[in-house]
């Protein structure tokens, strides 16, 4: 069994490689709760996969996903990202984002994203 650190590193590389859906299928718990900033959580892997597929379908150009910093302790990881992309609904987005992930049984059970919602 791999450590949380190894899972976080593999997950991050998949995101960098643009394998968003595959990463969710592999690393997210069936009962995952995901939340952007302080919006209501999206609950369940199926609902989050559907939301992610719609998001990916709206990508016009995926320019950058770079890990700036990350930390892992026990079953919690935090990743600071630089993301730069163009999206049909969001337009040009160039931002830093922090993802806080809580792991259970080798998968993410809870993930919260923090970012400034101002574009570019």
Q: Is the pTM of this model over 0.85?
A: yes
Residues 62, 41: Cα–Cα separation, whole Å: 25
Long-range Cβ pairs for the range 82-85 (8 Å, 24+)? 85/59, 85/60, 85/61
What angle in degrees, to the nearest 10, is found between the helix axes of 20-27 and 45-57? 170
Q: What is the span of the domain harbouring residue 101?
A: 4-115
The SS3 assignment for 19 reads coil
Is position 120 within any domain?
Answer: no
- pLDDT tens across the length of the chain (120 residues): 589 999 999 999 999 999 999 999 999 999 999 999 989 999 999 999 999 999 999 999 999 999 999 999 999 999 999 999 999 999 999 999 999 999 999 999 999 999 987 654
Any idea what the CATH number is for the domain that residue 76 is in?
Answer: 3.10.450.50
| Tally of domains in the chain | 1
Is position 10 within any domain?
Answer: yes
Is position 74 within any domain?
Answer: yes
- DSSP string covering 75-98: TEEEEEEEEEEEETTTEEEEEEEE
């Amino acid at each position: 069994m791999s450590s949380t650190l190894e899972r976080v590193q593999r997950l991050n590389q998949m995101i960098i490689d643009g394998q968003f859906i595959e990463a969710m299928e592999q690393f997210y718990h069936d009962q995952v709760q995901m939340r952007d900033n302080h919006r209501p959580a999206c609950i369940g892997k199926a609902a989050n996969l559907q939301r992610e597929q719609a998001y990916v379908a709206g990508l016009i150009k995926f320019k950058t996903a770079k890990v700036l910093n990350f930390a892992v302790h026990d079953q919690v990881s935090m990743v600071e990202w630089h993301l730069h992309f163009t999206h049909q609904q969001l337009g040009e987005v160039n931002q830093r984002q922090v993802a806080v992930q809580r792991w259970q049984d080798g998968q993410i059970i809870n993930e919260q994203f923090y970012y400034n919602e101002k574009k570019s």
